[in-house]
Structure 1
Amino acid sequence: MSDHPFPPEDPKTFLTLCAGEWMSLRSSFELSEGDDDWHASERGELKVSYDQGADQSVGRLEVVPPSGHASRLEFSADGRLAIQGGAQETTGLWRFWPDGSMELTLPQADGVVVQERIWFTRANLRLRSTTAVDGEGHPLQGSFCTDIRRVSKPAS
């Protein structure tokens, strides 16, 4: 990862830095009226690959979770985001912030808006926070995820 500036200075560098194998710990919170099942934590593995994409693209990420059901995220140069997962496609927006983080905004058909902020504290440590709010702006759920890049030991 030493060939990439850190923190990332542009969206393409950010997406390139996302590529790799990640160990992930996600804590999720349901902001409902009940006291049961309001929190869950899960560990997992993610494989992320990056490619340049089409002419009007900043790039494309392919994310493969442990289930093996890959998702493809296409980042258009105009800030649009298309996510293909199986037969379903979701569209939204992306924004790269001056602090080197990226924000994804995904409006749902039912009025819920999911927003994810992703940033690196180190080249091999990525943090993600996600919130979902209803059409009136009331929070429904949130999650926080820590991703640690798997790195191989140098050959002796």
Structure 2
Amino acid sequence: MNALAASPDEPAEHARFAAHLRELARATDAREPAVVARVLGDPDRTMARSAVLRHLDRRAGDLLAEPGFAVWSEAMTRTVGDDPFLTRRLLEWSLLRAVVRQGPWRPDDLLNASDWLQLRAAATSNAEVLRLLAERGRTRRIRRTAGLNPARSGDD
């Protein structure tokens, strides 16, 4: 049976989504850009983007503390370059990496970032980030998460 074929009770896009996720998970570093590009070529653009987003989030999380993160992120940015949402997500992973590793970052970049990124940054141990988000995070949830983070205690 074709790996992309749906069962009678399952919509075709669900079967393709699952198959895309399996293929992305098995992609070697060298083949990853080609696999991502192929998945993005699926006729169901929303489903394809969702599969690639899930893959990028998994891989970025795995690589966040690794030296190869920047090279991987650049390769993925070139691959998804015409998709503003995926490109922004990769940029936000890079900003989160800077926050986590206490590398250079600008407060305005963090304050202008998505709720997704601010919430993840509020869960880090960077005291400067926690202070900023506790005071000026976009949502009450972000401000509360940053304010209650144990890494912030003793800072005030």
Normalised to the residue count of structure 1, the TM-score between the two structures is 0.25
TM-score (norm. length: structure 2): 0.25
Structure with the greater alpha carbon radius of gyration: 2
